[in-house]
């Protein structure tokens, strides 16, 4: 498809069918059984499908630019064997709250982690195939400028980078979950969240900075990282999973068990 690249704005570009979430995330989500396709929850339905969220957004050069950051991130999150290289590189814990710990970045590539999160959020915001994530025209422009290297990280945006390290109370492992960015309004601010194999992003966008985020954001010194138990995931995605009804091959598979 020929069009204007949404990142560099070059007209008459050979646009790529760009992934909103990196293609490696779909590959890692595949299982080993007869139907290896991942389980996708959308609305109140859970289905096993091979569909991937893509849209013609970027030229080849900009697609490659994002790929240079995405590939190193793929080697940090939970791997197929259950290991998490992220945890080998994070620094010591320096503060704790009731359910979370905050650690120094250690040898983690914080610039890459911030850029990756911003790139996924921005792509989801401008794509028509992701209806529940929107930054708004102003912040679409500011995030684009940051990702293209024209300006620093948007001054009225904040980013918490978290990693879910401890298993749930019953020993279940939920870190192989991946979600598309979702926009929610909380206390007059727009919050944008998504998870990719244990790596969790929490963006706050607006004029007012939530008090609890002060000094804890990845985009500001000392660039701390949050470590949170996987039970925190249940609080957020648990209701989706509970009300989702299996359909198609997934329903047939469950009936046959």
The answer to whether 44 touches 243, Cβ cutoff 8 Å, is: yes
The phi and psi torsions of 13 (rounded to 5 degrees) equal: -85, 155
**CA 227/CA 113 separation, integer angstroms:** 15
Range of the domain at 111: 2-256
Residues paired with 196 in a beta bridge: 178, 199
Give me the tens of pLDDT residue by residue for the chain, a chain 257 residues long: 999 999 999 999 999 999 999 999 888 877 666 665 666 666 666 655 667 889 999 999 999 999 999 999 999 999 988 899 999 999 999 999 888 999 999 999 999 999 999 999 999 999 999 989 999 999 999 999 999 999 999 999 999 999 999 887 777 777 778 888 999 988 778 899 999 999 999 999 987 777 778 888 999 999 999 999 988 888 887 776 777 676 665 555 555 55
The Cα 195–Cα 176 span in angstroms is: 9
CB count, 10 Å around CB of 211? 6
C-beta separation of 219 from 111 below 8 A: no
The reply to whether the predicted model has a pTM over 0.85 is yes
Do residues 125 and 138 make contact, with C-beta atoms less than 8 angstroms apart?
no
Domain tally, the chain: 1
* Residue 8 DSSP symbol: T
């Amino acid at each position: 498809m020929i069009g204007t690249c949404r990142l560099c704005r070059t007209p008459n570009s050979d646009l790529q069918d760009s992934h909103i979430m990196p293609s490696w995330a779909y590959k890692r989500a595949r299982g080993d059984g007869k139907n290896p396709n991942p389980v996708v929850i959308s609305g109140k339905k859970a289905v096993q499908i091979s569909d991937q969220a893509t849209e013609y957004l970027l030229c080849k050069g900009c697609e490659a630019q994002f790929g240079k950051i995405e590939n190193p991130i793929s080697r940090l999150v939970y791997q197929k064997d259950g290991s998490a290289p992220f945890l080998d590189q994070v620094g010591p814990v320096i503060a704790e709250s009731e359910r979370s710990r905050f650690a120094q970045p250690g040898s983690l590539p914080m610039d890459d982690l911030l850029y990756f999160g911003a790139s996924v959020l921005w792509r989801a915001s401008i794509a028509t195939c992701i209806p529940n994530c929107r930054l708004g025209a102003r912040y679409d422009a500011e995030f684009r400028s940051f990702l293209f290297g024209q300006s620093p990280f948007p001054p009225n945006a904040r980013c918490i980078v978290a990693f879910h390290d401890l298993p749930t109370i019953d020993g279940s492992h939920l870190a192989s979950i991946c979600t598309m960015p979702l926009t929610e309004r909380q206390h007059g601010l727009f919050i944008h969240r998504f998870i990719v194999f244990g790596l969790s992003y929490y963006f706050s966008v607006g004029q007012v900075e939530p008090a609890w985020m002060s000094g804890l954001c990845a985009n500001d010194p000392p660039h701390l990282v949050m470590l949170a138990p996987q039970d925190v995931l249940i609080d957020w995605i648990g209701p989706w999973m509970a009300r989702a009804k299996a359909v198609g091959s997934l329903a047939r598979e469950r009936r046959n068990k």
